[in-house]
Amino acid sequence: MPSTLQPAPRASLADGVATQLREALAAGTFEVGTKLPTERELTESFRVGRTTIREAVRALAAEGLLVSRQGSGVFVAASTPLASLERRLSAASLLDVLNTRFALETHAARLAAENRDDAEVEALDALLRERDTHASGSPAFVAIDFDFHRAILVASKNGVLVDVFDALASRLADAFADVVEFELSDDILAEHTEGHHGIVRAIERRDADAAGRISGEILADTIRLVSRG
C-alpha cells in the first residue's frame, strides 16, 4: 500500500477519504486502468469502516474517477475530474457537442450584447474580416471561427461560461472541424456568414434578443444538417 495515505480526519470521514484518494489519483499514485486496493486494505490504511470507504468510492465514481466492475473490484477511470470530463467528451457524438454549444453560445451572445465593451466589438469584427479571407472549411477558417465564438463568450463577461468553453475546447475544436465535412450549399454558407456579422451588429447595438436569436438560428441550422447526415 502507498505510504502517502494517512488516517482520515474524524470530522468527516468519508470526505476525508475521498479527498485523499482524489489527491492520490491526481498525483499518479494509482494509474489509470489499474485496480484500486481492496476494500479491506483501504479500511486498514485509512482506519475507518467499510461503510465509509464505500461512500468515498461512490463519490469518486460519481465524478468519473473510479469505476466498479462486479466481481473484479474498483478501477481507476481518470486521474482528475477534468481528465474524466475530457474522456467523456472524446466519446461524445457531434450532435451532443453541437447541442452543448447551442446552450452555451446562445446565452453567451445575449450576455455579450449586454456587457460588451467597444474593444471587444472591434475584436469580433477583426476576427470576421480575417475569417472571410479564407476558404470556408480550410484549417485557417476553422481556427478563426473557433476564436470568434470564444471571443463572444469573453465579451459576455461571464468567467464561468468561458471556463466551461475552455474545458470543452479540445472536443469543440474537433466539432468545428467535423462540421465542415458536411457539404454546405453556397446559399447556406452565405446565410451563415451574414448571420455571424449579424451577431456582431446585434452585440454592438446591445440588442440581446437579436444576438441570442441569430446565434441560435445558425447553430440550429448546423444541428439540422448534421442530423440529416
Question: Domain end: 22, 57, 81, which one?
Answer: 81
**Residue 145 corresponds to which cell in the numbers above?**
471561427
Query: Which 3 state secondary structure label does DSSP give 9?
Result: coil
What's the CATH number where 14 sits?
Answer: 1.10.10.10
pLDDT band at 192 (very low <50, low <70, confident <90, very high): confident
Q: Within this chain, do residues 42 and 136 fall inside the same structural domain, yes or no? A: no
DSSP state of 49: -
Q: Among 26, 49, 81, which residue terminates a domain?
A: 81
- Angle among Cα 68, 74, 80 to the nearest 5 degrees reads 95
Domain range for 190: 92-228
**Inside any domain, residue 1:** no
Task: Look at the chain and count its residues.
Answer: 229
Could you report the per-residue pLDDT of 27-82, keeping only the tens digit for each?
889 998 999 999 999 999 999 999 999 999 999 988 888 999 988 899 998 887 76
Q: Structure pTM?
A: 0.65
Q: Are residues 155 and 219 in the same domain?
A: yes
Residue 59 grid coordinates: 463519490
Q: How many domains does the chain have?
A: 2
Task: Say yes or no: 70 and 105 in one domain.
Answer: no
Residues 200, 137: one domain? yes
